Structure 1
């Protein structure tokens, strides 16, 4: 489950399509500016720098671009759903349509890793991803991402 402290309802966007990874990073940066008051140029530069180390696409149409930002006080996220998937250089060669951008303070240490692990676990669930793909409403997407999911053990 993704904490509602990590992902503000206002930090979710449904986008018709994206022409490039750079444009996607600009959009993530713009949302981070609007919601969390971060400098969009700094965010975009940090995302591009991290991506230069290797693609942050994790497969199955999901990408987790992330960066450390000196002007943020705690780990925060932005979620984008693309109606038209974008080539992201994923190892499975699948284009991405679910993008969770994660931003952490420079000194976040283990908090950054915990948040990244929580987001990764959440978006590895194929049923949850199907729900996200089936919904075009940001508030519904927020609920799907932040609700506590339970399973019945036999």
Structure 2
């Protein structure tokens, strides 16, 4: 599974003025509702319910919040780069500025896990993370996210 299979260009955001995790989730839920046709409140509930089980902040300023939705046709990803990192209760206690939100259909165990694995592998690549942090343009962010690995990016 490639990220381009689940991430649309219009699902990539550069966010300013986000100061809290809840605000970020609300912003992503609005965009996800527009992309999927699912109600914003349902998306927000799926993400916040999962987050209540434990933070999806992986460390190094990266988070992968995720949730499952009934009636969703396929795994869908959204990406947000924050201009200012926010507290996320991450495992390393560092604030987060790179976020990939994954939404999966209820019962999509294997596809959901493949998507999580793909995103985690991508965001463990230092050159990708550096390039994402150096880019504020959503089109440029999308190009970085969907480029085949391994790729070396010049900062």
TM-score by length of 2: 0.93
1:40 aligns with 2:40: yes
Change (3 A) 1:48 1:63: same
Cross-structure match for 1:148? 148
Q: CA separation in 2, counterparts of 1:51 and 1:120? A: 17
Q: CA separation in 1, counterparts of 2:11 and 2:3? A: 13
- Whether the 8 Å contact between 1:59 and 1:91 is mirrored in structure 2 is yes
- Whether the 8 Å contact between 2:127 and 2:151 is mirrored in structure 1 is no
Q: Counterparts of 1:1-154 in structure 2 under 5 Å?
A: 2-150=2-150
Q: CA separation in 2, counterparts of 1:77 and 1:105? A: 12
Q: Offset at 1:150?
A: 3.0
Which consecutive residues of structure 1, in runs of 5 or more, have no partner in the other structure? none
Report SS of the residue matched to 1:45. helix
TM-score by length of 1: 0.94
Q: CA separation in 1, counterparts of 2:88 and 2:40? A: 21
Deviates more, 1:101-110 or 1:27-36: 27-36
Q: CA separation in 1, counterparts of 2:132 and 2:37? A: 26
Q: C-alpha deviations, 1:53-81, integer Å up to 9, x for none?
A: 00000010000000001131100100000
- Whether the 8 Å contact between 2:2 and 2:118 is mirrored in structure 1 is yes
Q: CA separation in 2, counterparts of 1:121 and 1:148? A: 12
- Whether the 8 Å contact between 1:2 and 1:145 is mirrored in structure 2 is no
